[in-house]
Amino acid sequence: MPSTAKELYRQLRLLPWPQLWNEEAPRFDRASPAERIQQAALIRAIAVVFSESGPPEQKEAVRLWLRALLRDPGEKIRRYAAAALPKIGAGPEEEAGLLSLLRASSSDREKKFLLQTLEKIGGAATLQIIGEAGHDPLPLTEQKIKASLARRENPSAIRMDSLLADAANLRVHLRGRRGLEPIVRDEVEHSPRVRGRFRVVEVRSGLVALTPLAPFTLADLCSLRCFGTIGFAIDNAPAAAPPDSLAALAAAIASPLSRRILKTFTHGTIRYRLNFIGQGHQRSAVRLLAARVYALCPEMLNDARHVTWTVDLYPDGRGGSVELRPNLTPDPRFFYRLQDVPAASHPHLAACMARLAGKMEPEIVWDPFCGSGLELIERALLGGVERIFGTDSAAAAIAIARRNFAAAKLDLLPAEFLCCDFREFTARAGLRPGDVSLIITNPPLGMRVPVHDLRGLIQDLFQAAATVLRPGGRLVFANPLSASSPPPSLRLRFRQAVDFGGFDCRLEMYQKRAR
């Protein structure tokens, strides 16, 4: 017999569901009260295993078994059964059983665990009973049940085309990878849909801050492709010692400006999660802060699943700044991204590379390491491209690139994807030297995808560019080497260190000299 409940659970968790249900559960039912308490971990193991496997008719039998255990004489057995119910799904009958037990219980500990379970599965009946005196020791119970009800019955969504008026004092934060700020700023200042509607007021590491000059929609902002996430900055909460600091943060989150933004851009109930940037989970602070926000604005419901908003809390020397971030997942800008390959570019990085490349007529584009095809797609979406070529040594990558390219609805653009080493490209494609105007690529960087001779690979890429590019043609790529020696015919036009997810890589653009 295992010495602890955790060890027993780990052993039972490995058993298949037929053995748990047909052998262990009957043995548990026949055991004495003392033995059942020692084997309570079986209840949790059965619920977890059946949440992942087992036929539907058996799950219904497990649900009935758990409901019966809510009437067990042992408080520990009842508590384990209550905690197990949400794992296999619970409805009005289970809610009624939990509420009946809550009314009858005289144990504060048992009430606490029952309310924690009801936070996950409770409905209107639970909301009614927790309003009774003495039945709500947890400050978030009512809020969590309302959020759960809203999630099940009225799922919310982000409104992309709703117009936010009177936003003159608002700051919009476009966040992305460190090093890409100049490209993001250039896009804001020159994109037709956004130019003149926003003014850049600050640029710092990983951030381009804007002030609206006219009413705008989220769709307006999402016409930009080079940033990572959008955040609406609310006034900073002043530095203070807890609990005053939480009170200041709650006041900022529930402020009139915050409510106006959330109501404008949300269809349905406003549900959000709290995210303390760089400070871990902060579970205690989340519970206290969410309770304060709810007291100030009951329309805003803190939730942990499928929320439409994340409230990011950035610590700074003056206290903490609050940003409201719409959860645009999947990102509507990159609808074509159906599949990916390991170590592929992030879409907004690919968009930055495409924008950096500029345009040349006629534009013939080649990606020697096309992966999932994002760089080629982003450049094609900017227009003016006559033909696309993508090569990759992995057949799976070529298949994914073709699928993503088709999803981007670029059917009229001739595109050829070849499974081959990039050094064989010109012979396989039938191209002559000087036929290509743009090479845009994110080659293997030697971090997540091992490369036998990284320096030799980059040197071969330079040589290929010097051969196939026409005069004035460009090579835009992520260079993992701190020093490299391009051929004399390639002139460096741009170099910027960019955060590639924990390590710096240089985003570079070379232009082929005229003869």
**What does the alpha-carbon distance between residue 114 and residue 83 come to, in Å, rounded to a whole number?**
8
- Looking at 298, 326, 354, the residue that finishes a domain is 326
Using alpha carbons, list the distances in angstroms from residue 424 to 368, 369, 429, 437, 462: 10, 12, 9, 18, 14
For range 334-359, the mean pLDDT: 94
Q: Are 140 and 119 in contact (CB under 8 A)?
A: yes
pLDDT at 265: 98
Tally of structural domains, the chain: 3
Do residue 339 and residue 321 come from a single domain? Answer: no
| 429 is a domain residue | yes
**DSSP type of residue 424:** G
Q: Which residues pair with 495 in a beta bridge?
A: 508
First and final C-alpha spacing in the chain: 83
> Exposed, middle or buried, 452 (CB in 10 Å: 0-12/13-18/19+)?
exposed
Own/partner pairs, 31-35, CB within 8 angstroms, 24+ separation? 33/73, 33/74
Residue 380, domain CATH: 3.40.50.150
Instruction: Name the residue type at position 312.
Output: D
Give residue 343's domain range: 334-512
Of the listed ranges 170-179, 398-407, 420-429, 433-442, the least confidently predicted one is: 420-429
Residues 314 and 349 in one domain: no
CA distance 473 to 159: 41
The dihedral through the CA atoms of 475, 481, 482, 485 has a sign that is negative
Q: Do the domain assignments include residue 467? A: yes
* 319 plus 443 within the same structural domain: no
DSSP per residue, 492-513: EEEEEEEE-SSSEEEEEEEEEP
Residue 1 pLDDT: 52
- Stated as kind and residue range, the H or E segment containing 26 is helix 25-30
Written in H, E and C, the secondary structure of 215-267 is CECHHHHCCCCCCCEEEEEEEEEECCCCCHHHHHHHHHHCCHHHHHHHHHCEE
| Nearest partner of 43 among 80, 88, 1, judged by Cα | 80
Tell me: pLDDT of 128 over 90.
no
- Burial bucket for residue 347 (CB in 10 Å: 0-12, 13-18, 19+): buried
Residue 153 lies in a domain: no
Pick the closest to residue 401 from 419, 427, 382, 422 (CA basis).
419
Same domain, 311 and 375: no
Q: How many CB atoms lie within 10 A of CB 150?
A: 17
The sheet carrying 229-238 orders its strands as 198-204, 207-212, 171-175, 229-238, 319-326, 309-316, 270-276, 300-302
**150: in domain:** no
Confidence at residue 239, expressed as pLDDT on a 0 to 100 scale: 52
Cβ-based neighbours of 268, under 8 Å, separated by 6 or more: 150, 154, 155, 156, 157, 308
| pLDDT tens-place string over residues 257-274 | 999 999 999 999 999 999
Query: 15 Cβ partners below 8 Å, 6+ apart?
Result: 24, 45, 49
Distance CA(207)–CA(228), nearest Å, equals 10
- Considering the domain boundaries, does residue 148 fall inside one? no
Residues 468 and 367 in one domain: yes
Question: Would 443 be classed as within a structural domain?
Answer: yes
Sign of CA dihedral 332, 333, 339, 342: negative
Confidence of residue 317 (pLDDT cuts 50, 70, 90): low
| Domain closes at, from 326, 358, 376 | 326
Distance CA 232, CA 493 (A): 34
The span from the CA of 249 to the CA of 225, in Å, is 31
299 & 349 share domain: no
Domain co-membership, 314 together with 339? no
Q: Measure the CA–CA gap between 377 and 394, rounded to whole angstroms.
A: 19
Encoded tokens for 279? 């400070």
139 residue type, one letter = P
> So what's the pLDDT on residue 238?
55
- pLDDT tens-digit readout, 38-84: 999 999 999 999 998 888 888 899 999 999 999 999 999 999 999 99
Answer yes or no: do 377 and 317 share one domain. Answer: no
| pLDDT tens figures, 496-513 | 999 988 889 999 999 999
CB 458 within 8 A of CB 479: yes
| pLDDT (average), residues 434-443 | 96
Residues 318 and 362 in one domain: no
Show the tokens assigned to 141.
């119970």
- Are residues 102 and 196 located together in one domain of the fold? no
pLDDT band at 137 (very low <50, low <70, confident <90, very high): very low
Percent of the chain with pLDDT over 90: 69
Q: Do 313 and 193 belong together in one domain?
A: yes
Task: Look up the CATH number of the domain holding residue 186.
Answer: 3.30.2130.30
On the question of pLDDT at 13 being above 70, the answer is: yes
Neighbours of 151 (CB within 10 A): 19
Q: What are the DSSP calls for 66-127, one per residue?
A: HHHHTT-S-HHHHHHHHHHHHHH---HHHHHHHHHHHHH---HHHHHHHHHHHHHH--HHHH
Whether residues 220 and 292 share a domain: the answer is: yes
| Three-point CA angle 432, 433, 439, nearest 5° | 105
In a domain, 145, yes or no: no
Residue-level pLDDT at 242: 56
Of the residues 113, 138, 163, the one at which a domain ends: 138
Is 437 contained in some domain? Answer: yes
Q: Is the pLDDT of residue 472 over 80?
A: yes
